[in-house]
Amino acid sequence: MAQNEKQPISRPQATVMLSRVAHSLYWMSRYIERAENTARLLEVNQQFLLDFQGFDDTGLKEHWGSILASAEDDVLFKTIYDVADSHNVTDFMSLDPRNPNSILSCIFAARENARMIRDQISIEMWETINELYLFLKGRERSEIWARGPYEFFEDIKRHSHLFQGLTESTFSRTEGWEFIQFGKFIERADKTTRILDVKYHILLPDASDVGGAVDTAQWQAVLRSASALEAYHRFYVHEILPWKAAEFIIFSETFPRSLYYCVTRVDEFLCRILAETGPRRRTAAARASKRLLSDLQSLAIDDVLNKGLHEFLVEIQKSLDHIGDEVVETTMFYKAEISSEEQQQQQQQQ
């Protein structure tokens, strides 16, 4: 070969490894956040039913159907269970391995991703995920429910908070950190919209119930599902009002689970990821993120309610899905020669 003939350009091995590590860090973070949000949602709705025990069979079906609809798991649920009651829905969303979004499936998937990059995370992070994995793997469903669902959901949330705190304290602020944070906030933003959408799906028997005791209790449950009840009362001293509750969960600039706060963090970490994984450019994901953030900055709660809360939330979910999908496709590439185990894991996550 002549000396002045150019060699074909290839990506360095380190970059390939970074992409594969980023893929696992991203999904590990998303699955932990998803499990926590599911636990919070189920715990609060169990408590809501205890507070209001006057529901008939139709009311219970509508109530739990709203939970399934918000998670987009209602179609799969109907292929496995006949009745949407407290036991079936809670079991399906908590411990059913046939549901890829159940708490059990999410923790197992998070642990598998952590195992694949064991040398890239701190020992404290690994031990926390593995401890939760062994807790779920080593117990029968009857044993878990015998202790009570409240304790079970508290265990999930406690381990998630511990994992996130340890990640904050022990993980270096490298590219991997940005993928962890991007995955966490895009999952949290999506779940915040679904928590709000639960209220849309709950059917009230009469228009006179709007603003009544049941309606107020439902909005209180929505705030508790997002761990926002105390923060709401500090911001709005008076009673819970539907439009104020929706405004706080969507537009708060300081509450870390509000939609606006999460989208701001998504845009921030997306900019860092795109700047470091290639030349800074206006990708479709970057444009969608900027447009989503701009919309939230320019809208007021009246605009959302006039358009329709459900329609607004569905558009947000589509935007978040588009952003996440493109980042996975453009920054987390794989070599053709990957193991069958890794290929199966990648297909399950997609």
Contact 99, 76 (CB under 8 A): yes
Which residue reads 């923790």 in tokens? 107
Cβ count near 289 (within 10 Å)? 27
> Can you give the pLDDT at residue 350?
47
Tokens of 295: 């919309």
Question: DSSP string covering 16-37, please?
Answer: HHHHHHHHHHHHHHHHHHHHHH
Question: Which residues fall within 8 angstroms of residue 237, CB to CB, at 6 or more apart?
Answer: none
Contact 280, 327 (CB under 8 A): no
Burial class (CB in 10 A: 0-12, 13-18, 19+), 105: buried
Distance from the Cα of residue 15 to its chain's centroid: 28
Distance CA 169, CA 5 (A): 50
User: Each residue of 234-276: pLDDT tens digit?
Assistant: 988 778 888 899 999 999 999 999 999 999 999 999 999 888 6
> Is residue 151's pLDDT more than 60?
yes
Distance CA 290, CA 37 (A): 25
- Closest-CA residue to 268 (of 162, 191, 339, 186): 186
> Can you give the pLDDT at residue 217?
78
User: Each residue of 109-143: pLDDT tens digit?
Assistant: 999 999 999 999 999 999 999 999 998 887 777 87
Count of alpha carbons within 13 angstroms of residue 97, beta-carbon side:
6
Cβ count near 303 (within 10 Å)? 11
Q: What percent of the chain has pLDDT over 70?
A: 79
* pTM of the entire predicted model: 0.84
| Domain spans, the chain | 17-170, 173-333
Q: How high does pLDDT run on average in the chain?
A: 82
Distance CA 245, CA 226 (A): 11
Contact 227, 40 (CB under 8 A): yes
> Is residue 3's pLDDT more than 90?
no
